[in-house]
């Protein structure tokens, strides 16, 4: 038997490749953020606009801090 390095994502999946794990984790976060962005029944918010908003959110370097503050605020609701 030998020891190996692996990367575990928040859903418990294991990856041998760090880039694949990071990509999968980004997909998980993206799906969660997608659930937070409201659907626009009026048709003013296209799929591509929604996608662009989510991608911008994912690339925000302060995303972790913002989500942590949101979580903290929700705990006091």
Q: What is the pLDDT of residue 42?
A: 72
pTM: 0.73
For 15-74, give the DSSP string: ESSHHHHHHHHHHHHHHHHHHHSPP-TTS-S-HHHHHHHHHHHHH-TTHHHHHHHHHHHH
Contacts for 58 with CB less than 8 Å, ≥ 6 apart: 26, 29, 30, 33
Give residue 40's pLDDT: 67
> What is the DSSP secondary structure assignment for residue 11, as one 8-state letter?
T
Phi, psi of 57, deg, nearest 5: -60, -45
Euclidean distance between CA atoms 3 and 41, whole angstroms: 52
pLDDT tens digits in sequence order for the chain, 77 residues long? 999 999 999 999 999 999 999 999 999 998 888 888 776 677 677 888 888 888 898 899 999 999 999 999 989 87
């Amino acid at each position: 038997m030998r020891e190996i390095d692996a990367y575990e994502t928040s859903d418990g999946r294991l990856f041998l490749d760090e880039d694949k794990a990071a990509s999968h984790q980004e997909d998980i976060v993206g799906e969660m953020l997608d659930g937070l962005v409201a659907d626009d029944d009026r048709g003013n918010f296209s799929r591509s606009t929604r996608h662009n908003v989510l991608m911008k959110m994912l690339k925000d370097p302060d995303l972790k801090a913002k989500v942590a503050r949101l979580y903290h605020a929700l705990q006091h609701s």
